[in-house]
Amino acid sequence: MDFSAYRGADVLVTGAAGFLGTYLAQRLLAEGARVRGADRVPTTVDGAESALFDLSDPATYPAVLEGRAVVFHLAAWIGRPGDDRTLAEALNVTAVRDLVRAAAEAGVRRFVLVSTVAVYGLPEADVVTERTPLQPDQDDPYGATKALGEQAAREAADSIELVIVRPGQIHGPGARNWTRKLAELDRDGTPTLIGSGDGLLFPVFVENLLDALLLAGVVPGVGGEAFHIVDGSVTWHDWMEHYGRMTGRPPRSAPVWAASTVAWLATHLPLGIALTPQHVRFSQRKLVFDTSKARERLGWAPRIGLDEAMARSEAWLRAEGVIP
């Protein structure tokens, strides 16, 4: 993978104060890019220009976009139980459309939109390609608004190269949901599996995702394309076994009926639990996200395997005191 095109390139990273944004800004700097990190709070990445940016305020867009050749748009509504869906639509749909338009007006050459495989909701077939229809009417507000955001970005990108990256579950040192939180739940004896755990998930290690993002920013001839970025599929049981070995506690499972009941209650009562009926059904599926397009068009392949990735996460979790 050749990233020499980033030497001296002027790049913008939105969401630069977050987990993935920090990693991306550091990686771009290491490749020789001139990085402007934009977020609601200053970025702490050494060597990056810090710019205040509010996704909900279009008046902040022109200053951060000025003079940039490539934009990586990571800032988004991720969601918390009880959040108003209106906010999700404002940040993941309306703001994406407005930012793409502003980027085109500012002379940005390429706009890399970080989306998610959640845009497919619960697809009909277990093998998912980039041609599989998106589901903007799904129950999950995050997946629904990210799907709508992709559509809005495409409508606005008439004079700019738009590349969409759809990662799986992002994990690695520093990741909250798919690394730290799972280790904490397993450590505390909270069930992390639903049923037998033989459904599939599709993680991507943060370093492998960075390779794909950098390629998406410079590989010629991919404007208008979307790409799955996952390292492969693994059963929930095997995934959580890694955390069980770290904590010394085998992962516990909740019956499907119990998880379904809790999910139904969580959607009707203010329980503060981020579990929906769609999540439960999703956990039982054996979905496979085809990455052949990313391999062929971007020249991407995961460099770091799951065992090595988990070893790095374990070292970080121990250093953080999450596990003894």
Helix axes 141-156, 95-105, angle to 10 degrees: 30
How much is the pLDDT for 318?
98
Residue type, 79: G
Q: Is 188 helix (H, G, I), strand (E, B) or coil?
A: coil
| C-beta of residue 119 within 8 angstroms of C-beta of residue 134 | yes
Identify any residues that bridge with 200 across adjacent strands, giving them in sequence order: 235
DSSP string, 113-132: EE--GGGG-S-SSSEE-TTS
Question: What are the chain's domains?
Answer: 4-172+203-231+287-304 (3.40.50.720)
Reported residue count of the chain is: 324
- Residue 268's contacts (CB-CB under 8 Å, 6 or more residues apart) are none
Q: How far apart, in whole angstroms, are the C-alpha atoms of residue 9 and residue 148? A: 30
Q: Quote the tokens at residue 294.
A: 């990313």
- The predicted structure's pLDDT at residue 209: 98
Let me know if 319 is exposed, middle or buried by CB neighbors in 10 A (0-12, 13-18, 19+).
exposed
3-class secondary-structure state, position 297:
helix
Q: What global pTM score does this model have?
A: 0.95
Tens of pLDDT, residue by residue, the chain (324 residues): 889 999 999 999 999 999 999 999 999 999 999 999 999 999 989 999 999 999 999 999 999 999 999 999 999 998 765 567 899 999 999 999 999 999 999 999 999 999 999 999 999 999 999 999 999 999 888 999 999 999 999 999 989 999 999 999 999 999 999 999 999 999 999 999 999 999 999 999 999 999 999 999 999 999 999 999 999 999 999 999 999 999 999 999 999 999 999 888 888 887 777 788 888 998 999 999 999 999 999 999 999 999 999 999 999 999 999 999
- The residue type found at 277 is P
Provide φ and ψ at 2, rounded to 5°: -105, 120
Q: How far apart are CA 186 and CA 236, in angstroms?
A: 13
CA distances from residue 276 to 128, 246, 285, 323 in whole angstroms, order as listed? 22, 28, 15, 28
What's the Cα-to-Cα distance from 316 to each of 168, 306, 320, 321, rounded to whole Å?
21, 15, 6, 9
C-beta atoms surrounding 81 within 10 Å: 13
- Predicted local distance difference test score (pLDDT) of residue 83: 66
Strand ranges (DSSP E) for the chain?
10-14, 34-39, 49-52, 70-73, 110-114, 127-128, 161-167, 169-171, 193-194, 200-201, 203-205, 226-229, 234-235, 253-254, 288-289
Q: In this structure, are residues 206 and 229 in contact, taking their beta carbons and an 8 Å threshold?
A: no
